Amino acid sequence: MVDEQGGFVTLKRNLIQYFQIKDEELKDIIEKAREMEETFGHYFDLVIVNSDDDRTYGQLLQEVNSLEREPQWVPANWLKGDRPS
């Protein structure tokens, strides 16, 4: 799982150096992340991988701006103030 910029390899190296994570611990973290994505992924519209600060910031800023411009869906009873008893 290496993207075109080698982001995963860079991320792995940085995690191991910065947090002093062992290779086995990193494998466990990745497996847990996959399980979470499989279980809860349908609740999310976007996943941003923080492998490069500038790129990540740009992606996040782009998404926030699009959320401000595009209409959002919410259940009608939220807008009417109807609350279930």
Q: Which residue has the higher pLDDT, 49 or 9?
A: 49
Spatial CB neighbours of 59, under 8 Å, sequence gap ≥ 6: 48
Once rounded to an integer, what is the mean pLDDT over residues 62-75? 89
- Name residue 32's amino acid: K
φ, ψ for residue 51, nearest 5 deg = -100, -15
- Give the closest residue to 49 by CA, choosing from 40, 39, 57: 57
**pTM exceeds 0.75 for this model:** no
With a cut of 50, say whether residue 1 has pLDDT above it. no
Q: Tell me the pLDDT tens digit for each residue of 11-52.
A: 667 766 777 778 888 889 889 989 999 999 999 888 888 878
pLDDT confidence of residue 63: 92
